Amino acid sequence: MAVPVRRASIVHSPTGLSERDIQLEAVMDGHDADIPCNDGFVLNPDEELQLRRSISLRHERAKLSRTNTAESQKSEKPVLKRTVSNMFEKVRSRKSTIDSGSAPPRPQLTLKELEDAVAPGSRTSEEKDNIDEDPNTVWWDGPDDPENPRNWSPILKWSNIALISCITLLTPLASSICAPAMPEIMKEFGIKSSSLAAFTVSVYVLGFALGPLVIAPLSEVYGRVPLYHICNTCFVLCTVGCAKAQNTGMLIAFRFLCGVFGSCPITNGGGSIHDLVPAEKRGKVAGVFGMGPLLGPIIGPIGGGFLAQAKGWRWVFWLITIASGFFTITCYICIRETYAPAILERKTRRLRAKTGNPELRSKLDTGRTKYDLLRHSIARPLKILFRSPIVISFSIYLAVVYGYIYLLFTTITPMYTSVYHWNTGMTGLAYLGMGLGSFFSLIIFSHFSDSLMQKRAALDHAAIKPEYRLPPLIYGAILLPIGLFWYGWSADAKVHWIMPIIGTVWMGMGILLIFMCTLTYIVDSFTLYAASALAANTVLRSIFGAFLPLAGTPMYNKLGIGWGNSLLGFIAIALAPIPLVFSRYGEYLRTRYEIKNL
């Protein structure tokens, strides 16, 4: 069934091309993991023939690679690279001509040119006449196809969203819930090193660094639901391992594996929300989903402290096992696949078996092998991290801030037990300040972020730019060092216990503003490669979150809690100009350092 072509508007992308030009280039080159497939991105007849030829050529090359010699393969690669490169150069050249007003906005590449550019010398025959209704192309059965997740009933949609959001809250919560129980764990296992105790907490986040690099590519190949089921099940088993640990090494190993498998809902959850909810309705849903990774680590120690005091530290992990086991079983029953390429591929296999037609292909089939998809997806975040000044700068900033969070998780408990003589249960309440601050900032950001962007655009008489997201980030950059100084010196002076907690309120507000503004800025700046850019950011900040806490106790022992937090505050002040620089020069840097052909 023919589907109307949906044109993308011109946006401020890092390549300087329209969003459709970028997406078209990605489709033809076979790396379209971040393209909004469910939005109805449909090629026009010329582009459809171009894609079919590109896929056909990749299939033929894969077949030749199994039969030809290594020398023949070697000679073919430069030819393909030159022809495809020449084709995309025509697209860019054509766009420049259109923007200058010297030509009508109609592609001038003829069918013959497209055929010669993508697959010179290959068959053309009847494909030109049957582009729109090719019987071998499998696509949605019209705009109301019930298999399209966007057309699911509200109950089915929200049951999936609720399950994903609950798991996304649970796995980050598990990263810090054992922090107040560390004195008991140290006593039972005979841990003498405070750095080793801190690493026992933060090693979970090291798993968050490794997990996305493996899970995201696998979900691109096999779909989201198989990864949810496998990772959720493994997460439950590894949490049981934590509860049954007999020594420090066993506990650290299982905590690391919990982090690896627990990163799945964080990695794939945003994609699932995108699959289900259109952009104009996604804001509130994304806000609810985003509370998990941000608030989970903060509220975890609150309950963990009282549970460890009442039942012992092992029951902290048994509680996570029970909760995650319940949601894992519920997911097996209720959750459904939302990833469009996976749904269409399964539909294609069903139709092949039913019709006996082996030529059927999904419209989203890129022709790449599973190995190519995995290799490409794993390498892409690392390339973006080191090629884009936007990603590397903000990744370093977020990495330091994220490290501060887990450094505090490992030091608040000993500080309140030694300075204010709180018991294990009471120390969990000390984390309430950061949770309240984060919650306040989340409400403020969700309410004002979009309206501020629109007002800035109206004042500048310009289109909306990603840099309009950054003003709240400046306030976050100010609040964070204020909170660090407040917390450190009030605890150093041993004033009333509420004063350090008030300091953590300012810190929580600053941290959440920095996180939300930075992540939305990256998404707005890297439309096609947003998921890969966020994956790069996640890897770097998780490494900092795992290892920075190891320096916490030695630093406080040497400098004291006042000057120790002042050092952290001075580092935060040194990084504060980053949002100012990108507010002024971000657009230039986005266009100067293009991200393409990744």
Checking if the pLDDT of 79 tops 50, the result is no
Residues 6+ apart with CB under 8 A from 548: 202, 400, 403, 404, 406, 407
Does 144 map to a domain? no
> Which residue range(s) make up the domain with 556?
378-598
**Are 165 and 227 found together in one domain?**
yes
pLDDT tens for each residue of 432-469? 888 889 888 888 777 776 667 667 666 766 566 777 77
Does 4 map to a domain? no
Residue 472 burial class via C-beta count within 10 angstroms: exposed 0-12, middle 13-18, buried 19 and up: buried
Q: Which residue has the higher pLDDT, 204 or 84?
A: 204
Residue 585: half-sphere exposure toward Cβ, Cα within 13 Å: 10
Neighbours of 584 (CB within 10 A): 11
Place of tokens 């192309």: 137
**Are 77 and 191 found together in one domain?**
no
pLDDT tens for each residue of 483-520? 999 999 998 998 999 999 999 999 999 998 888 888 77
Checking if the pLDDT of 189 tops 50, the result is yes
Encoded tokens for 277: 């909810």
**Are 337 and 447 found together in one domain?**
no
Residues 6+ apart with CB under 8 A from 110: none
Checking if the pLDDT of 5 tops 70, the result is no
Encoded tokens for 19: 């969003």
CATH number of the domain residue 276 falls in: 1.20.1250.20
Tell me the residue type at 29: D
pLDDT tens for each residue of 247-283? 999 999 999 999 999 989 887 887 788 788 775 566 5
Q: What is the average per-residue pLDDT within 172-181?
A: 88
Q: What is the average per-residue pLDDT within 387-397?
A: 86
Does 307 map to a domain? yes
**Are 88 and 206 found together in one domain?**
no
Does 119 map to a domain? no
Mean pLDDT across the chain: 76
Residue 138 DSSP label: E
Q: Output the DSSP codes for 514-581.
A: HHHHHHHHHHHH-TTTHHHHHHHHHHHHHHHHHHGGGGHHHHHHHHHHHHHHHHHHHHHHHHTHHHHH
pLDDT of residue 261: 95
**Are 190 and 54 found together in one domain?**
no
Confidence band for 63, pLDDT divided at 50, 70 and 90: low
- Out of 29-43, 299-313, 361-375, 400-414, which region has the weakest mean confidence (pLDDT)? 29-43
**Are 323 and 383 found together in one domain?**
no
pLDDT of residue 470: 79
Domain boundary among 80, 96, 112: 96
What's the total number of domains in the chain? Answer: 3
**Are 350 and 383 found together in one domain?**
no
**Are 319 and 216 found together in one domain?**
yes
Q: What is the average per-residue pLDDT within 96-103?
A: 44
Does 340 map to a domain? yes
pLDDT of residue 316: 93
Range ranked top by mean pLDDT from 36-40, 93-97, 421-425: 421-425
Domain boundary among 96, 130, 165: 96
Does 261 map to a domain? yes
**Are 80 and 188 found together in one domain?**
no
**Are 192 and 280 found together in one domain?**
yes
Checking if the pLDDT of 309 tops 70, the result is yes
**Are 441 and 583 found together in one domain?**
yes
Does 415 map to a domain? yes
Residue 30: half-sphere exposure toward Cβ, Cα within 13 Å: 24
pLDDT of residue 315: 94
Does 106 map to a domain? no
Q: What is the spatial distance between Cα 91 and Cα 114, in angstroms, rounded to a whole number?
A: 11
Confidence band for 582, pLDDT divided at 50, 70 and 90: confident
**Are 161 and 287 found together in one domain?**
yes
